[in-house]
Structure 1
Amino acid sequence: MTPVTTTKRLEPGDRAPAFTLPDADGNPVSLSDYAGKQVIVYFYPAASTPGCTKQACDFRDNLAELDGAGIAVLGVSPDKPAKLAKFRDAEGLTFPLLSDPEKTVLTEWAAFGEKTMYGKTVTGVIRSTFLVDTDGTIAVAQYNVRATGHVAKLRRDLSV
Protein backbone atom coordinates (compact mmCIF):
# COMPACT_ATOMS: atom_id res chain seq x y z
CA MET A 1 0.00 0.00 0.00
CA THR A 2 1.36 3.37 -0.99
CA PRO A 3 1.60 5.76 1.94
CA VAL A 4 -0.64 8.79 1.71
CA THR A 5 1.26 12.02 1.79
CA THR A 6 -0.15 15.45 2.16
CA THR A 7 1.48 16.87 -0.94
CA LYS A 8 0.51 20.47 -1.54
CA ARG A 9 -1.71 20.82 -4.57
CA LEU A 10 -0.07 22.45 -7.53
CA GLU A 11 -1.24 25.89 -8.57
CA PRO A 12 -0.71 28.08 -11.64
CA GLY A 13 2.81 29.52 -11.53
CA ASP A 14 4.31 26.49 -9.73
CA ARG A 15 7.12 24.64 -11.46
CA ALA A 16 5.82 21.35 -12.91
CA PRO A 17 7.52 18.43 -11.12
CA ALA A 18 9.90 16.67 -13.52
CA PHE A 19 9.33 13.01 -14.32
CA THR A 20 10.37 10.14 -16.54
CA LEU A 21 7.95 7.22 -16.80
CA PRO A 22 7.61 4.22 -19.11
CA ASP A 23 4.97 4.44 -21.81
CA ALA A 24 2.70 1.58 -22.94
CA ASP A 25 5.63 0.02 -24.82
CA GLY A 26 8.06 0.43 -21.91
CA ASN A 27 9.93 3.34 -23.50
CA PRO A 28 10.89 6.22 -21.18
CA VAL A 29 9.00 9.48 -21.65
CA SER A 30 10.08 12.59 -19.77
CA LEU A 31 8.25 15.84 -19.21
CA SER A 32 11.47 17.51 -20.38
CA ASP A 33 10.90 15.88 -23.82
CA TYR A 34 8.19 18.54 -24.21
CA ALA A 35 10.32 21.53 -23.18
CA GLY A 36 9.25 24.64 -25.10
CA LYS A 37 5.83 23.15 -25.87
CA GLN A 38 2.56 23.25 -23.94
CA VAL A 39 1.51 19.85 -22.65
CA ILE A 40 -1.60 18.59 -20.90
CA VAL A 41 -0.70 16.04 -18.23
CA TYR A 42 -3.75 14.23 -16.96
CA PHE A 43 -3.97 11.64 -14.22
CA TYR A 44 -6.64 8.94 -14.23
CA PRO A 45 -7.38 5.99 -11.91
CA ALA A 46 -7.41 2.93 -14.19
CA ALA A 47 -7.23 2.03 -17.86
CA SER A 48 -10.26 0.33 -19.44
CA THR A 49 -12.75 1.48 -16.79
CA PRO A 50 -15.84 3.35 -18.05
CA GLY A 51 -14.95 6.86 -16.84
CA CYS A 52 -11.28 6.61 -17.78
CA THR A 53 -12.16 5.22 -21.21
CA LYS A 54 -14.59 8.11 -21.82
CA GLN A 55 -11.97 10.66 -20.76
CA ALA A 56 -9.18 9.09 -22.85
CA CYS A 57 -11.45 8.87 -25.92
CA ASP A 58 -12.43 12.53 -25.44
CA PHE A 59 -8.74 13.49 -25.51
CA ARG A 60 -8.25 11.24 -28.57
CA ASP A 61 -11.21 12.83 -30.36
CA ASN A 62 -9.95 16.36 -29.62
CA LEU A 63 -6.27 15.67 -30.25
CA ALA A 64 -6.18 17.28 -33.71
CA GLU A 65 -7.47 20.59 -32.33
CA LEU A 66 -5.16 20.46 -29.30
CA ASP A 67 -2.22 19.54 -31.52
CA GLY A 68 -3.15 22.37 -33.88
CA ALA A 69 -2.90 24.74 -30.92
CA GLY A 70 0.55 23.34 -30.11
CA ILE A 71 -0.63 21.35 -27.08
CA ALA A 72 0.53 17.76 -26.52
CA VAL A 73 -1.30 15.29 -24.25
CA LEU A 74 0.11 12.77 -21.76
CA GLY A 75 -2.06 10.41 -19.69
CA VAL A 76 -0.68 8.97 -16.44
CA SER A 77 -2.11 6.12 -14.35
CA PRO A 78 -0.81 3.51 -11.92
CA ASP A 79 -1.39 0.78 -14.53
CA LYS A 80 1.52 -1.33 -15.78
CA PRO A 81 2.67 -0.79 -19.40
CA ALA A 82 1.06 -4.04 -20.66
CA LYS A 83 -2.38 -2.89 -19.46
CA LEU A 84 -1.81 0.54 -20.99
CA ALA A 85 -0.87 -1.05 -24.34
CA LYS A 86 -4.06 -3.12 -24.31
CA PHE A 87 -6.10 0.03 -23.46
CA ARG A 88 -4.34 2.10 -26.15
CA ASP A 89 -4.89 -0.56 -28.82
CA ALA A 90 -8.53 -1.25 -27.86
CA GLU A 91 -9.46 2.46 -27.95
CA GLY A 92 -7.15 3.65 -30.77
CA LEU A 93 -5.39 6.13 -28.49
CA THR A 94 -2.66 8.08 -30.26
CA PHE A 95 -1.06 9.98 -27.38
CA PRO A 96 1.35 8.54 -24.79
CA LEU A 97 -0.05 6.70 -21.78
CA LEU A 98 2.47 6.57 -18.96
CA SER A 99 2.82 4.02 -16.17
CA ASP A 100 3.35 5.08 -12.54
CA PRO A 101 2.72 1.89 -10.50
CA GLU A 102 4.71 3.22 -7.53
CA LYS A 103 2.49 6.34 -7.60
CA THR A 104 5.57 8.53 -7.19
CA VAL A 105 4.64 11.06 -9.89
CA LEU A 106 0.95 10.88 -8.94
CA THR A 107 1.95 11.84 -5.40
CA GLU A 108 4.36 14.61 -6.48
CA TRP A 109 1.56 16.19 -8.53
CA ALA A 110 -0.91 15.74 -5.60
CA ALA A 111 -3.02 13.47 -7.81
CA PHE A 112 -2.97 10.62 -5.30
CA GLY A 113 -4.45 10.82 -1.83
CA GLU A 114 -7.72 11.01 0.03
CA LYS A 115 -10.86 11.61 -1.99
CA THR A 116 -14.57 11.14 -1.51
CA MET A 117 -16.18 8.39 -3.54
CA TYR A 118 -19.85 7.48 -3.16
CA GLY A 119 -19.92 9.39 0.13
CA LYS A 120 -16.92 7.57 1.65
CA THR A 121 -13.39 8.84 2.12
CA VAL A 122 -10.96 6.59 0.27
CA THR A 123 -7.34 6.74 -0.83
CA GLY A 124 -6.70 6.65 -4.55
CA VAL A 125 -5.97 8.49 -7.74
CA ILE A 126 -7.55 11.94 -7.84
CA ARG A 127 -8.65 12.55 -11.45
CA SER A 128 -6.63 15.69 -12.26
CA THR A 129 -5.57 17.68 -15.31
CA PHE A 130 -2.75 20.18 -15.73
CA LEU A 131 -1.55 22.39 -18.53
CA VAL A 132 2.21 22.82 -18.38
CA ASP A 133 3.31 25.98 -20.15
CA THR A 134 6.26 26.32 -22.52
CA ASP A 135 8.48 27.48 -19.64
CA GLY A 136 7.75 24.38 -17.51
CA THR A 137 5.34 26.06 -15.10
CA ILE A 138 1.78 25.04 -14.35
CA ALA A 139 -0.65 27.21 -16.33
CA VAL A 140 -3.82 25.31 -15.33
CA ALA A 141 -4.32 22.95 -12.36
CA GLN A 142 -7.64 21.13 -12.05
CA TYR A 143 -8.34 18.51 -9.39
CA ASN A 144 -11.38 16.23 -9.03
CA VAL A 145 -12.38 16.74 -12.65
CA ARG A 146 -15.29 14.83 -14.18
CA ALA A 147 -14.48 12.23 -16.80
CA THR A 148 -17.41 13.26 -19.00
CA GLY A 149 -17.37 16.72 -20.57
CA HIS A 150 -14.01 17.60 -19.08
CA VAL A 151 -12.10 17.89 -22.36
CA ALA A 152 -14.77 20.14 -23.91
CA LYS A 153 -14.60 22.42 -20.85
CA LEU A 154 -10.79 22.44 -20.99
CA ARG A 155 -10.90 23.41 -24.67
CA ARG A 156 -13.31 26.26 -23.88
CA ASP A 157 -11.08 27.44 -21.02
CA LEU A 158 -8.02 27.35 -23.31
CA SER A 159 -9.91 28.81 -26.32
CA VAL A 160 -8.91 25.82 -28.46
Structure 2
Amino acid sequence: MGYDEIVEALLPLWGAKLGTENSREAWAERWVPAALADFNEQIQARDVVRFLCEAAVASVGDAKWPDRLLTPVAMRRALSACSRAKVEEINQENPLLGALLRRMSTFSDSVKMPFDAADVELTADDVEALGQWGALARDVDGRYRMPEIYRHALGFRTQGRARVVRGL
Protein backbone atom coordinates (compact mmCIF):
# COMPACT_ATOMS: atom_id res chain seq x y z
CA MET A 1 0.00 0.00 0.00
CA GLY A 2 1.07 3.53 -0.62
CA TYR A 3 1.20 6.18 2.10
CA ASP A 4 -2.17 7.71 1.21
CA GLU A 5 -3.82 4.28 1.18
CA ILE A 6 -2.38 3.49 4.62
CA VAL A 7 -3.59 6.83 6.01
CA GLU A 8 -7.06 6.17 4.62
CA ALA A 9 -7.13 2.62 6.01
CA LEU A 10 -6.20 3.87 9.50
CA LEU A 11 -8.92 6.55 9.70
CA PRO A 12 -11.44 4.16 11.32
CA LEU A 13 -8.78 3.28 13.90
CA TRP A 14 -7.72 6.74 15.09
CA GLY A 15 -9.45 9.35 12.97
CA ALA A 16 -7.82 12.11 10.98
CA LYS A 17 -6.82 14.35 13.92
CA LEU A 18 -6.41 14.18 17.67
CA GLY A 19 -9.56 16.25 17.86
CA THR A 20 -12.41 17.22 15.60
CA GLU A 21 -11.76 17.64 11.92
CA ASN A 22 -11.82 21.44 12.22
CA SER A 23 -9.61 21.55 15.32
CA ARG A 24 -6.03 22.77 15.42
CA GLU A 25 -4.94 19.41 16.84
CA ALA A 26 -2.26 17.19 15.33
CA TRP A 27 -2.90 14.90 12.38
CA ALA A 28 -3.02 11.34 13.76
CA GLU A 29 -1.01 9.82 10.91
CA ARG A 30 1.90 12.10 11.82
CA TRP A 31 1.45 12.27 15.59
CA VAL A 32 1.43 8.54 16.32
CA PRO A 33 4.70 7.64 14.56
CA ALA A 34 6.41 10.81 15.79
CA ALA A 35 5.28 10.19 19.37
CA LEU A 36 6.50 6.58 19.39
CA ALA A 37 9.78 7.14 17.54
CA ASP A 38 13.15 7.99 18.93
CA PHE A 39 15.26 10.64 17.25
CA ASN A 40 16.82 7.99 15.01
CA GLU A 41 13.28 7.62 13.61
CA GLN A 42 13.07 4.08 14.94
CA ILE A 43 9.93 2.63 16.45
CA GLN A 44 9.93 -0.67 18.30
CA ALA A 45 7.09 -3.04 17.47
CA ARG A 46 6.39 -3.60 21.17
CA ASP A 47 5.82 0.14 21.61
CA VAL A 48 3.26 0.11 18.79
CA VAL A 49 1.47 -2.93 20.21
CA ARG A 50 1.51 -1.45 23.71
CA PHE A 51 0.22 1.88 22.40
CA LEU A 52 -2.66 0.25 20.54
CA CYS A 53 -3.58 -1.90 23.54
CA GLU A 54 -3.44 0.95 26.06
CA ALA A 55 -5.39 3.31 23.79
CA ALA A 56 -8.01 0.66 23.03
CA VAL A 57 -8.61 -0.11 26.70
CA ALA A 58 -8.88 3.58 27.55
CA SER A 59 -11.25 4.19 24.61
CA VAL A 60 -13.86 1.65 25.72
CA GLY A 61 -17.17 3.32 26.51
CA ASP A 62 -16.28 6.73 25.07
CA ALA A 63 -19.16 7.46 22.71
CA LYS A 64 -17.98 10.97 21.86
CA TRP A 65 -15.93 9.67 18.91
CA PRO A 66 -18.14 7.33 16.83
CA ASP A 67 -15.89 7.72 13.76
CA ARG A 68 -12.91 5.94 15.36
CA LEU A 69 -11.93 3.14 17.70
CA LEU A 70 -9.18 5.02 19.55
CA THR A 71 -10.12 8.33 21.13
CA PRO A 72 -7.76 11.30 21.27
CA VAL A 73 -7.70 11.36 25.08
CA ALA A 74 -6.97 7.64 25.19
CA MET A 75 -4.15 7.99 22.67
CA ARG A 76 -2.49 10.74 24.70
CA ARG A 77 -2.79 8.68 27.89
CA ALA A 78 -1.45 5.64 26.09
CA LEU A 79 1.69 7.54 25.14
CA SER A 80 2.44 8.18 28.82
CA ALA A 81 1.97 4.50 29.66
CA CYS A 82 4.17 3.48 26.72
CA SER A 83 6.84 5.92 27.81
CA ARG A 84 6.96 4.50 31.34
CA ALA A 85 7.19 0.93 30.02
CA LYS A 86 9.91 1.88 27.53
CA VAL A 87 12.10 3.46 30.19
CA GLU A 88 11.59 0.45 32.49
CA GLU A 89 12.66 -1.88 29.67
CA ILE A 90 15.69 0.28 28.90
CA ASN A 91 16.75 0.03 32.54
CA GLN A 92 16.80 -3.76 32.14
CA GLU A 93 18.23 -4.01 28.63
CA ASN A 94 20.76 -1.19 28.62
CA PRO A 95 21.88 -0.38 32.18
CA LEU A 96 24.20 2.44 31.03
CA LEU A 97 21.40 4.28 29.21
CA GLY A 98 18.98 3.48 32.04
CA ALA A 99 21.30 5.02 34.64
CA LEU A 100 21.79 8.12 32.50
CA LEU A 101 18.03 8.55 32.01
CA ARG A 102 17.38 8.07 35.75
CA ARG A 103 19.98 10.71 36.56
CA MET A 104 18.42 13.11 34.08
CA SER A 105 14.95 12.55 35.56
CA THR A 106 16.13 13.98 38.88
CA PHE A 107 16.13 17.40 37.19
CA SER A 108 12.61 17.17 35.77
CA ASP A 109 11.02 19.24 38.56
CA SER A 110 13.27 22.21 37.90
CA VAL A 111 14.15 21.94 34.20
CA LYS A 112 11.84 22.25 31.20
CA MET A 113 12.51 21.15 27.69
CA PRO A 114 14.31 22.31 25.64
CA PHE A 115 17.25 22.51 27.99
CA ASP A 116 20.98 23.05 27.96
CA ALA A 117 23.23 20.07 28.67
CA ALA A 118 24.48 21.81 31.80
CA ASP A 119 20.91 22.13 33.11
CA VAL A 120 20.79 18.35 33.58
CA GLU A 121 24.54 17.91 34.16
CA LEU A 122 25.22 16.11 30.90
CA THR A 123 28.83 15.72 29.82
CA ALA A 124 29.83 15.78 26.17
CA ASP A 125 30.08 11.96 26.32
CA ASP A 126 26.58 11.74 27.80
CA VAL A 127 25.19 13.94 25.02
CA GLU A 128 26.94 11.85 22.38
CA ALA A 129 25.68 8.56 23.87
CA LEU A 130 22.10 9.81 24.24
CA GLY A 131 22.23 11.11 20.66
CA GLN A 132 23.45 7.76 19.32
CA TRP A 133 20.60 6.00 21.14
CA GLY A 134 18.10 8.47 19.68
CA ALA A 135 17.17 9.75 23.13
CA LEU A 136 18.40 13.33 22.70
CA ALA A 137 18.73 15.79 19.85
CA ARG A 138 19.91 19.35 19.53
CA ASP A 139 17.20 21.80 18.54
CA VAL A 140 17.74 24.67 16.10
CA ASP A 141 18.51 27.01 19.01
CA GLY A 142 21.29 24.74 20.30
CA ARG A 143 19.27 23.42 23.22
CA TYR A 144 18.28 19.78 23.65
CA ARG A 145 15.02 17.87 23.35
CA MET A 146 14.02 14.33 24.14
CA PRO A 147 11.56 12.27 22.11
CA GLU A 148 8.08 12.01 23.57
CA ILE A 149 8.51 8.28 24.14
CA TYR A 150 11.21 9.15 26.72
CA ARG A 151 10.10 12.57 27.95
CA HIS A 152 6.84 11.51 29.58
CA ALA A 153 8.38 8.82 31.78
CA LEU A 154 11.18 11.09 32.87
CA GLY A 155 8.74 13.82 33.85
CA PHE A 156 10.12 16.61 31.71
CA ARG A 157 7.61 19.30 30.87
CA THR A 158 7.98 21.59 27.90
CA GLN A 159 8.11 25.34 27.64
CA GLY A 160 4.81 26.22 26.03
CA ARG A 161 2.81 23.54 24.27
CA ALA A 162 4.58 20.24 23.78
CA ARG A 163 5.76 19.58 20.26
CA VAL A 164 5.93 16.08 18.94
CA VAL A 165 8.89 16.26 16.63
CA ARG A 166 10.99 13.84 14.66
CA GLY A 167 14.77 13.89 14.63
CA LEU A 168 16.09 17.41 14.74
By percentage of residues, which structure has more helix?
A: 2
Larger radius of gyration: 2
By percentage of residues, which structure has more strand?
A: 1
* TM-score in terms of structure 2 length: 0.24
Higher relative contact order (CA 8 A, sep 6+): 1
* TM-score in terms of structure 1 length: 0.25
